[in-house]
Structure 1
Amino acid sequence: MPDSLTREGTTTSVLLLATTPACRLLSGDGTLLDRLGDQLASLPVREVQVMSAAGNLAADLRGVAKIVRTATGAVAVLPADLVLHTEALAVLLEHPARGTAALISHDATAGPLRPPVRVEGGRIVAAGSSFHLVPEANATFRGVLQAGEADLASLADLAEELAELAEAGKLGPVTPVEAVDLLLVGLVRSGVSVRATGIGQLHADRVTGQISADAALARLAEVDEAQVRLDASVKEDDGFFATFFVSTWTRHLIRPCVRLKLTPNTVTGISAGLALLAAVWFSAGTQGGRLAGAVLLYLSFALDCLDGQLARYTRTFSPLGAWADGMSDRLKEYAVYVGLAFGSAAADIWYLAVAAMVLQVVRHAVDYTYAGAVADAGRVGAMWGRPARSLLETQDVRAAPGGVLRLAQRLERDTVARYLKKMIVLPIGERMALIAVTAAFWDARVTFLALLGWGGVAALYQLTGRIARSAR
């Protein structure tokens, strides 16, 4: 019978697997199990259940299935022999989506307690164990698995199926320490979408003895968790302009915004206000007005970056906030187009303005319809679209990407190529910079011609990429 601690007001439960001797190793005045309990007490989890060793892997997996079937809300499963930063737990357990996710490190050095995984597009597409192999692994699983409420039944069914296979000896030399690894393998191979939550510079390691536990605890002290949290609030994969000309200084405004109790939505509103003021200055049609508009537009974009950074730092992002941010971006950009057109005396300026606006609408439609199609396929995608279970296959039946997509992924590993790819698609940061620079130093006609030229190349690039991915 598992021990449990219940707290009201949250929607995530935690199941601690105290099924290995290592969970009783010493950590300060207590054990590793005690340490994990203290860490979880500081996080917004509703209930913590501790499942003691049942004696073998099959019984442990059946115990997990029994508990998961009675759960409501998301359930996180993690072994109690885990030594990790509290912030590493928080990035997964405090995510407001409460969806299915796993803690991973992009250090791809696999080991007995670091099973390999392959991550594509922020999702785990292949996961391994001592029995299951992963072609072209690019990360490692670090022991924490969360199942969203919609996937609890799948997790329970998989735990029972894995228990039967383990009991029959069909999974090779798997051991009780691999229970959570096998659950991840099962979810991924049954087609469940598992978000990859990276730990970045933080540490999360499972241990087997007191020496390795002491070494893992010592490594934790080498990292400043507060600084890592601040660094993680700045997007790693942002565009070139946002990364080098905005985030370098907006990151220093995050903590002051927290102290002032500014919400991300408030910052979004201020950003929209500055963009509207920029449009007013652009409409004046003077060199000074265009220069003032360019400065205001730059500041508006800086705050547009800051609202996301603040949301990630405080973990207060929401669907409403994301929608408001996206709508604000469109409103600001098109208002600036109108302001520039009003301030220009060129005879064809309105044609150019409308053409630039239509091009951006088409580009956004290409992106959002593709994203919507992918989401629909993952959600309802008719059962034929889901991969067949392959728990008895030693290697994942789905092949690693090839052709154009493999080349694209290799380019992602090169910093210069990665930023060139991002710049080609003319993301919002580059668009705002392009508008500000061309308007400040030339005129609105040059601005719209630049948007149409670069935007046309970006649209062709995006369309080619979407077709390649769809064909795959």
Structure 2
Amino acid sequence: MPDSLTREGTTTSVVLLATTPACRLSCADGTLLDRLSDQLTVLPVRDVQVVTAGGGLGADLRGVAKIARVSAGTIVVLPADLVAHTEALALLLEHPARDTGALVSHDAAAGPMRPPVRVEAGRVVAAGSSFHTVPEANATFRGVLQAGEADLASLADIAEELAELADTGKLGPVTAVETIDLLLVGLVRSGVRVRAASLGPLHADRVTGQNAADSALTRLAEIDEARVRLDTAVKEDDGFFATFFVSTWSRHLIRPAVRLKLTPNTVTGVSIGLAALAAVWFSAGTQPARVAGGVLFVLSFALDCLDGQLARYTRAFSPLGAWADGMADRLKEYLVYAGLAFGYGGTEIWYLAAAAMIAQVVRHALDYSYAGAVADAGRVGALWARPARSLLESADARHAHGVLGFAQRMERDSVARWFKKIIVLPIGERTALVAVTAAVWNARVTFLSLLVWGGIAALYQLVGRVARSAR
């Protein structure tokens, strides 16, 4: 029977499976179960249900299903024999999306307590257990699984189906140690979108004996969690210009901004102000003024990076903030376009400015309409359109072909991956393009460059979207 500890003010519940002997191994905080319970007290958790009765795999799965049926909000299932950094648990528990996700490491050395998974585009697309194999695995699952509120019914159905298969021996000699591994397999194979929360340099390991526990605790002490939190505040998949010319120094502004109690939205507001000043300088039309405008526009973009870094560091995300940030990006660009056109003078330049604006609108429409279509298809597919995948399959043989396969192979090559990021002309590259062409040449060169490069980027995106849709 589970023991429950309740807290107010959050919507996440934790199911702590303390059904293996390893959870009672000793550490400085008592037992591993005690240590994990203490870690959960500093995370945004509403209640912790500790399952201690050892009724076997089927009983554990049915226990999870029962809790999922009656819960409102997100559920996190984790084993009490886990030795992990608190910051590692926070990657799921403090993520504002409260979505379905799994804690993974890109160390692909699979083992009995770290089953293989395959991660593509930030999602777990194939998951394994001692019964299920994963071709082309590139990561390992580290035992922490979160189910968003929208996926609780799927989690309950999968847990009950797996319990029946386990009780009838159809899953082979699996044990209660693999309860969470099997739940991840079931979610992935049922078409649920599972976000891959990457550990990075942090550690999270399940252990079976005292020596392994002591070794895992020693590895935890070797990592500076505060430094890792700062590092992970900087986007890993950002554009080339943002990564190498902005984030290398803007990261040092994060902690001062926290000490000054600046919010991400405040930083966004200052960024808009700098872009408006850049537009004023551009409108003067002289080369020194265009140089000053270019510098201010780059600084505006740097603050645009900082507001996201600050939001990730403080985990102060909000739908309003994300919307405001996206709208601010468009507003800043169009202010600068107007300033450049005004400074250049003449009727023709306004046609070019309008064409550049329209090109950006079309490109963003391609992005957002495709993202919305994928989300809608995912919701529908989870109900009826996506073919069900058997939980008894022992392998996932899905492979990519054609244009999409070529694009995925490019992701494995560092130079090709950065080329892909640059060619789509993200906001960092657009900022640099505007600043450099305006300062060195003039507004006409700026708008023509935006139209040519933007056209290539739109064609590349369109081909990619068609290829993914066909897949």
Shift of residue 119 of structure 1?
1.3
Q: Which amino acid aligns with 1:437?
A: V
What is the correspondence of 1:302-451 to structure 2 with a 5 Å cutoff? 302-345=302-345, 348-381=348-381, 383-396=383-396, 399-451=398-450
Pick which of 442-451 and 55-64 moved more: 55-64
Q: 1:214 to 1:434 in 2, by over 3 A?
A: same
Q: TM-score, structure 2 length as denominator? A: 0.98
Asked if 1 retains the 8 angstrom alpha-carbon contact of 2:337 and 2:353, the reply is yes
State the partner residue of 1:55: 55
For residues 260-283 of structure 1, give each alpha carbon's deviation from its aligned partner in whole angstroms, at most 9, with x where no partner exists: 111101111110111011111111
Pick which of 345-354 and 179-188 moved more: 345-354
Asked if 1 retains the 8 angstrom alpha-carbon contact of 2:192 and 2:382, the reply is no
- SS at 1:201 equivalent: coil
Asked if 2 retains the 8 angstrom alpha-carbon contact of 1:189 and 1:387, the reply is no
State the partner residue of 1:109: 109
1:14 aligns with 2:14: yes
Distance in 2, matches of 1:467 and 1:58, equals: 43
Distance in 1, matches of 2:103 and 2:40, equals: 15
Structure 2: 5+ residue stretches without partners: none
Pick which of 458-467 and 223-232 moved more: 458-467
For residues 61-101 of structure 1, give each alpha carbon's deviation from its aligned partner in whole angstroms, at most 9, with x where no partner exists: 11221222222211100000000000000111011111111
For residues 376-430 of structure 1, give each alpha carbon's deviation from its aligned partner in whole angstroms, at most 9, with x where no partner exists: 101234844223131011113x613223222222222222211111000110000
- SS at 1:169 equivalent: coil
Pick which of 348-357 and 381-390 moved more: 381-390
1:216 aligns with 2:216: yes
Q: 1:29 to 1:425 in 2, by over 3 A?
A: closer
Identity among equivalent pairs (%)? 79
Distance in 2, matches of 1:85 and 1:156, equals: 28
Asked if 2 retains the 8 angstrom alpha-carbon contact of 1:11 and 1:45, the reply is yes
State the partner residue of 2:470: 471
What value does the CA root-mean-square deviation take over the aligned residues? 1.2
Distance in 2, matches of 1:389 and 1:413, equals: 28
Shift of residue 354 of structure 1?
1.2
Q: Which runs of 4+ in 1 moved over 6 A?
A: none
Distance in 2, matches of 1:386 and 1:141, equals: 24
Shift of residue 142 of structure 1?
0.5
Distance in 1, matches of 2:385 and 2:264, equals: 38
Distance in 2, matches of 1:382 and 1:101, equals: 16
Distance in 2, matches of 1:245 and 1:383, equals: 45
Distance in 1, matches of 2:53 and 2:409, equals: 43
Q: Which amino acid aligns with 1:96?
A: P
Distance in 2, matches of 1:382 and 1:313, equals: 33
Q: Which amino acid aligns with 2:81?
A: D
State the partner residue of 2:281: 281
Q: 1:156 to 1:352 in 2, by over 3 A?
A: same
- SS at 1:294 equivalent: helix
Q: Which amino acid aligns with 1:416?
A: V
Distance in 1, matches of 2:314 and 2:28, equals: 30
1:40 aligns with 2:40: yes
Q: TM-score, structure 1 length as denominator? A: 0.98
Distance in 2, matches of 1:41 and 1:201, equals: 23
- SS at 1:48 equivalent: strand
Q: Which amino acid aligns with 2:192?
A: V
- SS at 2:103 equivalent: strand
Pick which of 164-173 and 400-409 moved more: 400-409
- SS at 2:118 equivalent: strand
- SS at 2:344 equivalent: coil
State the partner residue of 2:182: 182
For residues 99-134 of structure 1, give each alpha carbon's deviation from its aligned partner in whole angstroms, at most 9, with x where no partner exists: 111111111111111111111221111111000111
Distance in 1, matches of 2:144 and 2:348, equals: 59
Distance in 1, matches of 2:160 and 2:238, equals: 42
Q: Which amino acid aligns with 2:42?
A: S
Q: Which amino acid aligns with 1:271?
A: S
Distance in 1, matches of 2:407 and 2:218, equals: 39
Number of matched residues?
471
For residues 135-176 of structure 1, give each alpha carbon's deviation from its aligned partner in whole angstroms, at most 9, with x where no partner exists: 211111110001111111211111111011001010112111
State the partner residue of 2:81: 81
Shift of residue 239 of structure 1?
0.7
